[in-house]
Amino acid sequence: MSEMQPWGETLRLLVELAATAAFALSGLLEAARKRLDAVGVCVVAFLAAFGGGTLRDLLLDRRPFFWVQHVEVLWGVLGLCVLAMLFLRQPHFELTEKMIQWPDALGLGLFTATGVHLALIDQMPMLVAVMMGLTTGVFGGVLRDMVCNEVPTAFRDHKPYAVCAFAGGWVYVALWQMEAPGWSALLACVLVTAGLRAMALWRNWALPAWRV
Amino acid sequence: MSEMQPWGETLRLLVELAATAAFALSGLLEAARKRLDAVGVCVVAFLAAFGGGTLRDLLLDRRPFFWVQHVEVLWGVLGLCVLAMLFLRQPHFELTEKMIQWPDALGLGLFTATGVHLALIDQMPMLVAVMMGLTTGVFGGVLRDMVCNEVPTAFRDHKPYAVCAFAGGWVYVALWQMEAPGWSALLACVLVTAGLRAMALWRNWALPAWRV
Amino acid sequence: MSEMQPWGETLRLLVELAATAAFALSGLLEAARKRLDAVGVCVVAFLAAFGGGTLRDLLLDRRPFFWVQHVEVLWGVLGLCVLAMLFLRQPHFELTEKMIQWPDALGLGLFTATGVHLALIDQMPMLVAVMMGLTTGVFGGVLRDMVCNEVPTAFRDHKPYAVCAFAGGWVYVALWQMEAPGWSALLACVLVTAGLRAMALWRNWALPAWRV
């Protein structure tokens, strides 16, 4: 197991990096569509990328934050914003929501797994752990939409998003309870979450409407 | 006094449970009216129910949160959401704002008392304690409205709401300063807050308008 | 140096007081324009005045908050709200955005310096320290706008605001790295931030638009 540990840590770090970039791009896209200025676009990108994990850390009282420990990620997102600013000005280049749909689905799975994992380490009850996973995965996007003065897409578009994270979170918890190795729980959670999300997008699954 | 303590604890717990249900329903109602999907309705219900207390605990740096210590309350609100989803689909059943007005007024009083109490225990200055009471009672609703992309009702409808909590909070602080028994301060705070709120609703009291 | 220390502390306190008043007035003004009731106006004024610093303290895990340690500032802002309520009702008196533009620019500089300073004391990396300065200076206004259901002005009006704080923050960090005396770093940060902001307002500088 001892030689597995650093590999697992590296994988988790890579996972967070990829997810962070996808989430930052989703913020960039929405901010640009709302005609924010360059500062607004950067801030919304940062909120989308780090908001969920930071909220989780605040709730779990974990310090230092991910982006304090790995400050190079902050520089990376800042660079991403500058690059996007240059590239998006090319008339023949267009960034669309479709392009980030798949990395976003993967990011949702990865962030959820991270959130559940950290909460379980802190000995949180199972439901709380799942909710921390959901918070990590979903609240970056929620903060992004709230700053842009929109009802969060995740709560309104009737497409399964948070529900996928909820299901994936329980998979992680179940495997943890069965004392399965950490990498298998991580993998299963990501596969279930991202898989359900991909199915939902592909088959146009819709959440039931609500009547009052 | 020693036999009073557990009774007081039980009462405080019951108080929080009743208030939590009323607040969750207010979130459910608003989310449904804004046509959110099932996930959105649940999240907004959770925010309305636990947002104020969680914000207070973040500010006071109290851990574990109420809903981590009593995780069954989370399950309860989740169950409430599922039940509401089933019942609200009945054509002859309608949940209106009027129906939760009174439990909400009681909840406002109870949450305020809890918030003031916890802040005083942490040796906060009096004004801060009152503000923590107000935060506990009012910010669940504020977060609910912010996520639903509305200016918070509490700040806009010219009906006394936070003001009642402010008055009730000072009553609690005053009785605490006089070293009155805890149950009397709790009771007085709830009665004043909920009483003022009830009067305001009944007599249509309005806050003064603001001119600039 | 020992006789400089209390003088520096007093200056920092005065700085925060002046900035707090300017920010509270900006909240008051926006809330009044959005036709909030008296409670809403007060809450938005408090959010604008204390939101940025409180968010910084939450992120840095600093306690007690500024407004707990100096509870008289809370009373001051409460008094300011009551005074404003009385004065703004005079027909021949009008509070405009122009009137608080300059104290707000000064406040931005002062808050930024405070935020960077506290983060550097906590041994945060340089970029994080600058972001904490930016958070302190800008997020009071962001929270104010979010509660008022607006896309934050700082992200949308194409006038340099957060960018000035960003520049000023780096000045503070640079002087700190060179082990310059604390008061010079504070002064330089305030001058650069407020100066850039003043130039931007005076010369109508605009941030580049963003195209997608």
Tell me the one-letter amino acid at C21: A
Handedness of CA C98, C100, C102, C104 (dihedral sign): negative
Tokens of B7: 């009774």
Least Cα separation, residue C14 to chain A (angstroms): 29
The predicted model gives C192-197 an average pLDDT of 94
Which is nearest to C50 in space by CA: C76, C30, C82, C29? C76
Position A199 scores a pLDDT of 93
Contacts of A191 (CB under 8 A, 6+ apart): A109
Question: B170 Cβ partners below 8 Å, 6+ apart?
Answer: B130
Return the pLDDT at A6.
67
pLDDT band for position A96 (50/70/90)? confident
pLDDT (0 to 100) of residue A145: 95
Whether the CA torsion A152, A154, A155, A156 is positive or negative: it is: positive
User: How close B83 comes to chain C (CA, Å)?
Assistant: 31
Contact C20, B140 (CB under 8 A): no
The pLDDT assigned to C1 comes to: 40
Distance separating alpha carbons of residues B146 and A38, to the nearest angstrom = 25
| B209 domain residue, yes or no | no
Contact at 8 Å (CB) between C178 and C85? Answer: no
Burial class of residue C133, CB neighbours in 10 A (0-12, 13-18, 19+):
buried
Which is more confident, A103 or A192?
A192
- Contacts with A38 from chain C: Cβ below 8 Å: 207-208, 210
> Is residue C137, in this structure, part of any structural domain at all?
yes
Could you give the maximum distance between any two Cα atoms of chain C, in Å?
56
What is the reported pLDDT for A143?
96
A206 contact C CB<8A:
no
Entry pTM: 0.92
Q: What is the pLDDT of residue B52?
A: 94
If contacts are CB pairs under 8 Å, which of residues 176-205 in chain C contact chain B?
A: none
Q: Which pLDDT does position C131 carry in this prediction?
A: 96
In this prediction, residue B14 carries a pLDDT of 77
Interval B51-73: pLDDT, tens: 999 999 999 999 999 899 989 99
In the structure encoding, which two tokens stand for residue B122, read together? 């942490």
Distance CA B85, CA A211 (A): 8
Question: Could C124 and A68 be called an inter-chain contact, meaning their C-beta atoms sit closer than 8 Å?
Answer: yes
The pLDDT confidence band at residue C210, using thresholds 50, 70 and 90, is low
Task: Give Rg (Cα) of chain A.
Answer: 17
Please answer yes or no on whether A58 and B58 come within 8 Å at the CB atom.
yes
C17 within some domain:
yes
Residue with tokens 């909120």: A47
In a domain, C211, yes or no: no
ipTM at complex level:
0.89
Question: Is there a contact between A127 and B71 if contact means CB atoms under 8 Å apart?
Answer: yes
Search chain B and give the residue with CA nearest A211: B89
Q: What is the pLDDT of residue C5?
A: 60
CB neighbourhood size of C12 (10 A): 17
Smallest CA–CA distance from B55 into chain A, residue: A59
Is pLDDT at A155 greater than 70 in this prediction?
A: yes
Give φ, ψ of C208 to 5 degrees.
Answer: -60, 145
The confidence score (pLDDT) of residue C2 equals 44
Give the residue on A whose Cα is nearest the Cα of B149. A151
C192 near C171, Cβ under 8 Å?
A: yes
Whether residue B67 lies inside any domain: the answer is yes
CA C87 to mean position of chain CA atoms:
24
- Comparing C98 with B28, the larger pLDDT belongs to B28
Q: What is the mean pLDDT of chain A?
A: 88
**Shortest CA gap A36–chain C (Å):** 5
A186 vs C99, residue with greater confidence: A186
Q: Are B130 and B148 in contact (CB under 8 A)?
A: no
In a domain, residue C182? The reply is yes
How would you write A140-157 as a 3-class SS string? HHHHHHHHCCCCCHHHHC
Chain A residues lying within 8 Å of B71, measured CB to CB:
125, 127-128
User: Within a domain: residue B41?
Assistant: yes
Inter-chain CB proximity B155 and C29 less than 8 Å: no
**Cross-chain residue pair B147–A150, CB shorter than 8 Å:** no
The dihedral over CA atoms of C48, C53, C56, C61, expressed in degrees to the nearest 10, equals: -130
Shortest Cα distance, chain C CAs vs residue A182, angstroms = 29
Q: How confident is the model at residue A197 (pLDDT cuts 50, 70, 90)?
A: very high
Cβ <8 Å between B155 and C63: no
pLDDT in tens, chain B (212 residues): 444 566 667 776 777 787 788 899 999 988 988 889 889 999 999 999 999 999 999 999 999 998 999 899 999 999 999 998 887 766 666 667 777 788 888 889 989 999 999 999 999 999 999 999 999 999 999 999 999 999 999 998 888 999 999 999 999 999 999 999 888 998 999 999 999 999 999 998 988 766 54
Q: What's the distance, CA B174 to chain centroid?
A: 21
In which band, very low, low, confident or very high, does the pLDDT at A99 lie, cut at 50, 70 and 90?
confident
Pull the structure tokens for residue A146: 């709230």
Alpha carbons B153 and B142: distance in angstroms, whole number: 7
Average pLDDT, chain C: 88
Of B59, B125, B212, which is closest to C32 when you measure between CB atoms? Answer: B212
* Stretch among B9-18, C62-71, C88-97, C179-188 having the lowest mean pLDDT: C88-97
Q: Check: CB of residue B35 under 8 Å from CB of residue A210.
A: yes
Alpha carbon distance A35, A58 (integer Å): 30
Check whether A92 has a pLDDT greater than 70.
no
The shortest C-alpha distance from B36 to chain A (Å) reads 5
Burial of B35 (0-12, 13-18, 19+ CB in 10 A): middle
Residue C51 lies in domain: 4-203
C138-181, pLDDT tens digit by residue? Answer: 999 999 999 999 999 999 888 899 999 999 999 999 999 999 98
Rounded mean pLDDT, C58-63: 94
A104-122: per-residue pLDDT in tens? 888 899 899 999 999 999 9
Residue A101 binned pLDDT confidence (cut-offs 50, 70, 90) = confident
Q: What is the mean pLDDT of residues C108-112?
A: 92
Cβ–Cβ contact B155 with C under 8 A = yes
Residue B13 sits at the chain A interface (C-beta within 8 Å): no
Q: Is A156 on the interface with B (CB under 8 A)?
A: yes
* Mean predicted confidence (pLDDT) in A126-133: 96
* pLDDT, tens only, B77-110: 999 999 988 877 666 666 677 777 888 888 899 8
Task: Decide if A123 touches B, using CB distance below 8 A.
Answer: no
- pLDDT at position A210 is 62
Q: CB distance B71–A161 less than 8 Å?
A: no
Q: What is the mean pLDDT of residues A135-143?
A: 95
> Residue C62: closest CA among chain B residues belongs to which residue?
B61
- Shortest CA gap C57–chain B (Å): 9
The structure tokens listed for A61 are 């009282």
- The amino acid present at C45, given as its one-letter code, is A
| CB-CB neighbors (< 8 A) of B149 in chain C | 149
Interchain CB contact of A151 with C (< 8 Å): no
Structure tokens at A174: 């179940």
Is A211 part of any domain? Answer: no
Contact A161 B75 (CB under 8 A): no
CB distance from A155 to chain B under 8 Å? Answer: yes
Q: Do C212 and A29 lie within an 8 Å CB cutoff?
A: yes
Residue C57: partners with Cβ closer than 8 Å, 6 or more residues away: C63, C65, C66
Cβ separation A155–B44 shorter than 8 A: yes
Give the mean pLDDT of A69-74. Answer: 92
Q: Does position C209 have pLDDT exceeding 70, yes or no?
A: no
Q: What is the pLDDT of residue B96?
A: 74
> What subunits touch chain A, counting only 3 or more CB pairs under 8 A?
B, C
Encode pLDDT of A1-53 as tens digits.
444 566 667 776 777 787 788 899 999 988 988 889 889 999 999 999 999 99
Contact criterion met (CB below 8 Å) for A49 and A143: no
Q: Is the bond leading into B64 cis (omega within 30 degrees of zero)?
A: yes
pLDDT at C19: 79
- When computed from its CA atoms, the radius of gyration of chain B, rounded to whole angstroms, is 17
Q: What is the pLDDT of residue B1?
A: 40
C194 close to C108: Cβ distance less than 8 angstroms:
yes
- Residue in this structure with the two tokens 């305001």, named with its chain if needed: B200
pLDDT for B80 equals 92
The mean-pLDDT minimum among A157-161, B7-11, B143-147, C195-199 falls in B7-11
- Chain C residues whose CB is inside 8 A of the A59 CB are none
**pLDDT tens column, A163-178:** 999 999 999 999 999 9
pLDDT at B55: 96
Structure confidence at residue C3 (pLDDT) = 47
C142 to chain A: which residues are within 8 Å by CB? Answer: 147
Q: What is the distance of C-alpha A43 from the center of its chain?
A: 17
Provide, as residue numbers in chain C, all residues whose Cβ is less than 8 Å from the Cβ of B125.
68, 71
Count up the domains in chain C and report the number. 1
Q: From residue B25, how far is each of B153, C134, C181 by CA, in Å?
A: 15, 38, 56
